[in-house]
Chains A and B, each alone.
Chain A
Amino acid sequence: MTKSLFALILTLGLGSFASACAAQAPAAAPAINDAQIAHIAYTAGVIDVTAAKQALQKSHNKAVRAFAEEMARDHTAVNDQALALVKKLGVTPQDNPTSQSLASNAAAEQKKLAALSGSAYDKAYAANEVAYHKAVNAALQDTLIPSAQNAELKSLLETGLKLFQSHQMHAEHLAQSLK
């Protein structure tokens, strides 16, 4: 487990999982492989699409809905590309503790957001999107991209990073406008 992935997990509120992993981790953690990287990146995309779908069900704010539509459209497109690439490469994405913790904690976050409504929901969704994109971008930049061995996977992750940095900027503008 690398420092950056820990940062991602902690930022996403996965402290308990991180602690559990730290306790169990061997002295020299094995390097993350391309199949695991693909799984983590794909899972991160699915999480944001799910969050966007919830926003489209709950929010009546025009700017929030436009942002959610952008997230659903872009993350779906990137994940489609990722699926096509792993198929082409003959790689089977490999589930791993990071993907599992991302998914379970995202489900918990979604439950929290489900209990909110109106402007409280809009603000919480926007704030979560800022934090989530910051964490994912840091993980991409510091861990996933440097660790990727396949050039095409690395390139797709780099394109994804540019895209998600743009999402982060948009989320920050959105969060600011909702204050």
Chain B
Amino acid sequence: MKKKIVCTLCPIGCELEVEIQEGKVVSVEGSLCERGVKYAKDEIENPTRCISSSIPVRGGKRYETVSVKTSSAIPKDKIFDVMNKIKKIQLKAPIKLGDIIIKNVLNLNVDIAATRNIEKDKSK
């Protein structure tokens, strides 16, 4: 099977023609550099993505939510499973950027980490 994908590693955006057999990449054409070949292999054989979301926070100064992300890429087919885990969480201020919100989510060896500092609102 042949598939066309565009490499997104740099703005050139090489249009790659990938030959796939039984889920494995056999050949990649159209790439200007070696990185494109690896990109195609990863995209076809084991696509991964970083995802982000935001979680409601109580008692925060200026913010009502804290933004979070996966600490590294997760398999593409696990995105919605991870989102479902994130959806169940409620947090309280203070929170520091980098705080682990969920450790080793779904045993993927990836954490959900805060990407923003939330100070505690002392006026309340």
Tell whether A pairs with B: no
